[in-house]
Structure 1
Amino acid sequence: MTLRLRTDRLLLRPVDEDDLDVLLAIRNAPDVVATTSTGEPLPRKRMADQLSRRCKSWREQGLGSWLVLLEGDPVAYVEVAPIGEGSGVDPEAIEVGVVVHPDHWGKGMALEAGLAAARDIVDRLGLDRVYAGVDPDNEKSLRALAKVPGVRRLDDELYEVTAEALHRAGSPLSALPGQDMPPP
């Protein structure tokens, strides 16, 4: 059975090794690059290494990055991974981040996909909260994050949303995670 999440408009499926070019096209779109802390495209080798780790994470831990599809076409991806050292919270806590191709900015896809992934991860793994790190200069991401129910700012770049807040807001999912679902 393949894990897939479906919202009203979107299908999220785990990334796989064949997604390298798609992820690069989304991440290295010039408008996306301009929102990154480096302001530089991500090298192919580095994205390939990241993708390999993401696929391994799905196999070994049951969590990882999602490719987001709209009417069968990739439009975004959602990162789901341990937050790591230096965040001020448990390094094993889970961080959720969304990268949307600029052709689809302003359509609520980051919020929709991010909420779906966050709700899935708190439900499947029994977590009590997830985190998001956002550069304080990334106004588009900050506007999307402000719409997340119950989001709490912890510092200049770190935000938290509890499982309780996600459940109060209702699920953005129209089908249960863990079911095999055909593409929309």
Structure 2
Amino acid sequence: MTRELRTDRLVLRPVEESDLDTMLSIRNAPAVIATTGTGKELPRETMAGQLGRRVTSWRERELGSWLVLLDDEAIAFVEVTPIGEGSGVDPDEIEIGVVIHPDHWGRGLAAEAGLAAARDLFERAGLQRVYAEIDPDNAKSLRAIAKAPGVRKVDDELFELTAESLR
């Protein structure tokens, strides 16, 4: 079964193993690298491992990361993963993160894609909340998260969006 989400401007489809080079080129664009905690390119083998886990998540849990298309061009991806240890919330809670190519920054596309993925998690998967971890120095991501209705700041880096806030 092919699953996709549609917004006014975007199509989101589950990531596939064949998306490795596309996702790597988005993640390793110099302006994107500058927004990361490491400030370094993500190695191909690391992205391949992450992508493999995302594809497995779709197969086993029917939820996972999305490739974002604008006019049939891949411009971003939405990571949908367990938040893990150290966030201050249950490590199995779901985190959403949008990585968008810099050529498409400043148009509201990251917020549009992130909200589409969140709605899917609320409506189809039945989740009640999702989280986003954002570096306090990442002004672009902070502007994007501010567009989410009812978003709640948990601490300096953690934001919560609930199903109730999108109803």
TM-score (norm 1): 0.90
Q: How does 1:71-82 map to 2 (within 5 A)?
A: 71-82=71-82
- Per-residue CA distance 1:128-151 (angstroms, 9 max, x = gap): 111100011100000111111000
Contact between 2:80 and 2:94, CA under 8 Å: does it hold in 1? yes
| Overall identity of the aligned pairs, in % | 69
Q: CA deviation at 1:86?
A: 1.1
Q: Secondary structure at the match of 1:85?
A: coil
Aligned partner of 2:10 in structure 1 is 10
Tell me how large the CA RMSD over aligned residues is.
0.6
Aligned partner of 1:83 in structure 2 is 83
Aligned partner of 2:58 in structure 1 is 58
- Per-residue CA distance 1:29-68 (angstroms, 9 max, x = gap): 0000000000000000100111111100110011111000
Aligned partner of 1:173 in structure 2 is none
Following superposition, which runs of at least 4 residues in structure 1 exceed 6 angstroms of deviation? none
Aligned partner of 2:46 in structure 1 is 46
TM-score (norm 2): 0.99
Aligned partner of 2:100 in structure 1 is 100
- Per-residue CA distance 1:96-145 (angstroms, 9 max, x = gap): 11000000000110000000000001111211111100011100000111
Unaligned segments of structure 2, at least 5 residues: none
Q: How does 1:147-166 map to 2 (within 5 A)?
A: 147-166=147-166
Aligned AA (1:87): S
Distance 2:146 2:125 in 1: 25
Distance 2:95 2:127 in 1: 12
Unaligned segments of structure 1, at least 5 residues: 168-184
Distance 1:114 1:107 in 2: 13
Aligned residues: 167
Q: Secondary structure at the match of 1:127?
A: coil
Contact between 2:63 and 2:125, CA under 8 Å: does it hold in 1? no
Q: Secondary structure at the match of 2:31?
A: helix
Higher relative contact order (CA 8 A, sep 6+): 1
Q: How does 1:69-148 map to 2 (within 5 A)?
A: 69-148=69-148
Distance 1:107 1:89 in 2: 31
Distance 1:125 1:12 in 2: 16
